Structure 1
Amino acid sequence: MDDLLDRHESGTASPFGYPDYSAFADVSEIDSFVKQLQEAEAAGAIGIVRGRGRNQDKIERVRLNDVLRLYDLLGRRPVGERAAQAHRCLLEGVDVPNEFEIPIAAIRAAWDRGGAWQGFAAQDADRLRTALLLAKAILEGKHRGVDYRTFSRRIAGESKALEKVEGAVVRILASALELPPAARPKDALRTLGLEKFAPPMLLAGRVDFDAAELSLARPTYFGIPPAEAHRVRLTERPRYLLTIENLASFNRHLTEADPEARGLTVYVGGYPSFATQDALRCFARAIPTEVPFYHWSDIDPDGTWIFRTIERIIERPLRPHLMASDLAEQFGRVPKEAVRPQRRAENSAISELIAYLERENAKWLEQEELDPVAPVEGESTFAR
């Protein structure tokens, strides 16, 4: 009978139910079930349709007759009432930012249908409220300069609270911030500065680190805490600065395309963390403007998101390296499940590639599929 109400609340007109007698453990359970149905029929809540001939004593199906009587009989409240109460619980005392109007409306719409939003049903309003408060705090910048678990404890009163609702937090924030299209929630939060520990930044080039004369040892590459980027010293002007998304491509570039370390090559660790973004901003200010900056990522929506993120933070021209539609057409594949690219930026050097990726049969290409080559002056800055 609960199933009849569930289907009624989801929009089914005059729903029917068919008893599954094989699901009962024994005859006594069947008898109890039949008795409940007969009582509901006597109350006018449902109608029972029996079989014919030899099966005339057997209940074949049950139809919903009176919704309000069945609610009362089962001690259940209409979905609209439950959704309204859950909605009040979610928003009570919260000054909801205008940027969150779309996800809040989607939550209410899902609950009004008796469904769930991102796995949170009406009865989960308290947990979703925690996600809303965390998302609001992030939007207000209260996470800056605070590690992941300290932020969670300060806002939600529990150090692991954010881990439990990461997906919902990211979905709420996605209406206000441009986040990586296909990133896991933890990776998306990392780009905003929420991480347990900042991973090291890997560098290769003719550089020293404070008093350490690394240029004499010429290591293939070395790692530093991103916050220490200001301690990197150039021993000579690099021919270029190249940021690379993928670790395998980073290693291949160093050994195959630039074994003499004429450029400054930086591994950004996939989606660049907030600390890595700050380090790149530091390099952009310290390196002469004549040195061209490039970025090499996968040719897909996440790759263009990473490009645009770096482009915004360095505040100087950034050129795509091995990121062009002709390469995708030649070597790429049409994805099985396409992710819509981020909002187009007309003034971005990657805008034409973003437009290409919006096409119905656009191909994606992982950067590992390409052999590395060193950036050259005059390299196309736009997808062809």
Structure 2
Amino acid sequence: MSDLLDRYEGGAESPIAYPDYDGFIDVAQMDKFVRELRDVERRGGIRITRGRGLKSEQIKHARLESPPLLYELLGRRPVGQLMEAATGRLLEGLELPVQFETSLDALRSAWSRGREWQGFSLDDADRLRPAFVMAKAIFEQRHVGLDYRTFSRRFAGDSKALERLEGPVVRLLSGLVEVPPAARPRDALRTLGLEKFAPPILLSGRLDFDVAELSAAAPRYFGIPPAEAERLRFRERPEYVLTVENFASFSRHLMEADPHRVGITIYVGGYPSLATQSALKTIATALPANIPFFHWSDIDPDGTWIFRTIERAIARELKPHLMSVDLADRLGKLPADRTRLPTGTMPSAMSDLVAYLRRDDAKWLEQEELDPKLPPANAW
């Protein structure tokens, strides 16, 4: 009977259960089971169907007729009531912005059918509550300037809470803020500014750093804390600035395409963190408006997301480098799974590629498949 209610709560309108006669210990246990089912049938809770021929006295299956009666007989509360109680504990004293309603509806729908939401059942409401608290704080921009653990401790009372709840937090924010379409939750949080500590940003070019004349030492590349980008000095006018998603492509570009460092090449570390985005803005602001900026990524939804993110960060024209519909069509491969593309209507040099990637026959291309080359000299 519990199985009937489980399936009823899972969405079956009139579920049927079949007795497992092989599972009974002895005949006495089987007889007790049959008597109980017949008693519930007399009360109107179930309808029994018997077998045929030699099995005409044997119960073939039982169909649920009156869920309220079975709840009463089993002393069990309907899952809808349990869901309301659980969401009440989850949201007690927490005034969520209206934008969270879609996620709440999905959670209520799952819990009202006895299913999990993001791996959490209705018995886990207390464990899930900090995810809603932290997602609300991020949506309201109260995480800005805080590192990963400080934020977690301040808003969840536990420095490791965000680490345990990254998935639900990012799921709650999806659609409310723009995050990478296929990123791991931790990478998505990095793009919003939540990371344990920002990794160094890697640069190559005829650059100095404060009083250090790195251009004279001519390292292939060097790293600085993103927050110290304002200490960079440009020894001479660069021919271009190129940001690169992939480290292998960044390294190959320096060795094969620009060994003389005529431009500035920057490795953004995959999905650029908020600190990296801020450093790129600092660099863009410091350079004349007629120096062209380029970005080189994979030709796929994440590549277009990274391009659009850098484009917003630098607040100046950004051109795609080795990222075109023609390259994808000639050299790319059809993906196994499609991924959500960036949303929004901002004008972008990536618009044509985004439109192409929305097609069912669109191909994707990893940037490592291409040999590096200098951006065009007449790009501006």
TM over 0.5: yes
Deviations 1:358-384 (A, max 9, x none): 1122111111111111101345x9xxx
Residues 335 and 364, structure 1, Cα contact 8 Å, conserved in 2: yes
Given the superposition, is the C-alpha separation of residues 305 and 39 from structure 1 closer, same or farther in structure 2, using an over 3 Å criterion? Answer: same
**Secondary structure class of the residue paired with 2:360:** coil
Aligned partner of 1:252 in structure 2 is: 252
Task: Indicate whether 1:328 and 2:290 are aligned.
Answer: no
Task: Indicate whether 1:132 and 2:105 are aligned.
Answer: no
Task: Indicate whether 1:94 and 2:94 are aligned.
Answer: yes
Residues 344 and 355, structure 1, Cα contact 8 Å, conserved in 2: no
Aligned partner of 1:63 in structure 2 is: 63
**Secondary structure class of the residue paired with 2:155:** helix
Residues 166 and 186, structure 1, Cα contact 8 Å, conserved in 2: yes
Task: Indicate whether 1:350 and 2:345 are aligned.
Answer: no
Alignment partners' CA distance in 2, 1:297 and 1:33: 65
**Secondary structure class of the residue paired with 1:110:** helix
Aligned partner of 2:208 in structure 1 is: 208
The structural deviation recorded for 1:37 is 4.0
Residues 147 and 196, structure 1, Cα contact 8 Å, conserved in 2: yes
**Secondary structure class of the residue paired with 1:99:** helix
The structural deviation recorded for 1:45 is 2.3
Given the superposition, is the C-alpha separation of residues 30 and 224 from structure 1 closer, same or farther in structure 2, using an over 3 Å criterion? Answer: farther
The structural deviation recorded for 1:133 is 0.8
The structural deviation recorded for 1:255 is 0.7
Relative to the length of structure 1, the TM-score reads 0.92
**Secondary structure class of the residue paired with 1:337:** coil
The structural deviation recorded for 1:54 is 4.1
Counting only pairs closer than 5 Å after superposition, residues 1-384 of structure 1 correspond to structure 2 as: 1-21=1-21, 24=23, 26-27=25-26, 31=30, 37-38=37-38, 40-41=40-41, 43-56=43-56, 58-379=58-379
Relative to the length of structure 2, the TM-score reads 0.93
**Count of residues in correspondence between the two structures:** 379
Residues 102 and 175, structure 1, Cα contact 8 Å, conserved in 2: no
Given the superposition, is the C-alpha separation of residues 36 and 253 from structure 1 closer, same or farther in structure 2, using an over 3 Å criterion? Answer: farther
Residues 241 and 264, structure 1, Cα contact 8 Å, conserved in 2: yes
Residues 344 and 351, structure 1, Cα contact 8 Å, conserved in 2: no
The structural deviation recorded for 1:353 is 1.0
Q: In structure 2, what residue type is equivalent to 1:267?
A: Y
Residues 207 and 215, structure 2, Cα contact 8 Å, conserved in 1: yes
Deviations 1:246-302 (A, max 9, x none): 011111111111111111000000000111111111101111222111111111111
The structural deviation recorded for 1:58 is 4.2
The structural deviation recorded for 1:36 is 5.2
Alignment partners' CA distance in 2, 1:93 and 1:323: 49
**Secondary structure class of the residue paired with 2:90:** helix
Q: In structure 1, what residue type is equivalent to 2:297?
A: S
Q: Which runs of 5+ in 1 are unaligned?
A: none
